[in-house]
């Protein structure tokens, strides 16, 4: 009899614990959620984080507080996110630099992107575009390549620097196309665009959102995109893959959480993020300022994607001779 009573009590305790866990999961979030952004206020990632945060806030009936921690090639924000309490109320709006490329560019980082974070969901991919000054004699990608081959080391391509996505795309394109181009670094993509429009450099390699307004205004001529698939708004612009088979690169934005964050919070965040991104109006707004989204995907899918990207970028940086510094 005592054994039966003990089993009944244990079952009741287990049921109560499960009910409590389910209730907590259902109640999440019951206070403001912090979203750390490693770029300054007013930047592209910041604007996108605030757009997504506003929609999530409406669903959760809780504030989503964007906490900007710029600097150090994303390292300051990433470190802050990695060291945040894994309580389900701290998340990181991350870029491809923070999660994938930084380990291959810097000998030491104050965080480990593969150990310190748990995937939550993708925001979207950010294609890059190669565009020339309208005074350039090159009207097409093929003409640009012909010019570069005829003038080794003289054709200039502006970008944000050798350790940025645009800088690496410039170097990779030149290497795989057999070109000697002069990669010209600037302190920001805005400065690189301005200098190219002004004729100080012949071309610029940058993310589509940073160049699209000058392209639409006829101040820059797009001649190639870095993705194999066409880019919305630039559908007639060819891919670099046409001259460099297999060339298919894009930056990306994603949400991750500090390692150890409760699974219930991650699952709820992922579910609601996917609902936000799947809204056609929201997807169009995001596309106008940055990423092409296909929904958040499952955390497991994102984990597999990140692992594949690490493998690819590890090989890529070796192939083009980029060493960690």
User: pTM to 2 decimals?
Assistant: 0.84
Task: Report the CATH number of the 127-242 domain.
Answer: 3.40.190.10
Strand 117-133 and strand 220-225: the pairing is: antiparallel
**How far, in Å, CA of 25 to CA of 3, rounded?**
33
Mean pLDDT of 266-291: 93
Closest Cα to residue 243, out of 321, 168, 172? 172
- pLDDT-above-70 percentage for the chain: 92
Closest Cα to residue 203, out of 188, 212, 193, 189? 193
What pLDDT, in 10s, does the model give residues 209-221? 889 999 999 999 9
End-to-end C-alpha distance for the chain, whole angstroms? 71
Q: Do domains 32-125+251-319 and 127-242 have the same CATH topology?
A: yes
Under CATH, domain 32-125+251-319 is a member of which superfamily?
Bordetella uptake gene, domain 1 (3.40.190.150)
Q: 281 versus 21: which is more confidently predicted?
A: 281
At residue 126, the 3 state secondary structure works out as: strand
State both tokens at 135.
């005074």
What pLDDT, in 10s, does the model give residues 70-80? 988 899 999 99
What pLDDT, in 10s, does the model give residues 103-135? 998 989 999 999 999 999 999 999 999 999 999
pLDDT of residue 13: 52
H or E element, residue 256? strand 250-258
Domain ranges, ordered by start, for the chain: 32-125+251-319, 127-242
What pLDDT, in 10s, does the model give residues 136-185? 999 999 999 999 999 999 999 999 988 888 999 999 999 999 999 999 99
């Amino acid at each position: 009899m005592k054994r039966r009573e003990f089993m009944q009590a244990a079952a009741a305790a287990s049921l109560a614990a499960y009910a409590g866990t389910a209730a907590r999961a259902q109640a999440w979030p019951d206070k403001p959620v912090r979203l750390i952004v490693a770029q300054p206020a007013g930047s592209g990632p910041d604007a996108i984080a605030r757009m997504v945060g506003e929609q999530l806030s409406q669903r959760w009936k809780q504030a989503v507080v964007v906490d900007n921690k710029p600097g150090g090639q994303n390292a300051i924000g990433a470190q802050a996110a990695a060291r945040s309490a894994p309580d389900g109320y701290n998340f990181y709006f991350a870029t491809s630099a923070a999660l994938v490329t930084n380990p291959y560019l810097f000998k030491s980082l104050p965080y480990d992107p593969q150990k310190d974070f748990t995937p939550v969901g993708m925001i979207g991919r950010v294609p890059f575009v190669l565009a020339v000054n309208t005074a350039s004699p090159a009207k097409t990608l093929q003409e640009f390549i012909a010019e570069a081959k005829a003038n080794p080391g003289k054709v200039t391509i502006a970008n944000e620097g050798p350790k940025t996505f645009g800088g690496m795309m410039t170097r990779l394109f030149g290497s795989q196309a057999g070109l000697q181009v002069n990669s010209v670094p600037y302190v920001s993509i805005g400065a690189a665009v301005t200098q190219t429009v002004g004729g100080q450099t012949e071309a610029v390699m940058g993310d589509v959102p940073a160049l699209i307004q000058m392209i639409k205004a006829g101040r820059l001529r797009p001649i190639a995109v870095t993705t194999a698939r066409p880019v919305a708004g630039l559908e007639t612009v060819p891919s670099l893959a046409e001259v460099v088979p297999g060339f298919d690169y894009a930056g990306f934005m994603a949400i991750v959480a500090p390692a150890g964050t409760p699974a219930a919070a991650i699952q709820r965040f992922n579910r609601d993020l996917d609902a936000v991104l799947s809204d056609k109006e929201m997807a169009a707004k995001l596309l106008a300022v940055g990423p092409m989204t296909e929904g958040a995907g499952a955390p497991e899918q994102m984990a597999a994607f990140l692992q594949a990207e690490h493998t690819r970028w590890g090989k890529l940086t070796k192939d083009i001779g980029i060493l960690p510094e």
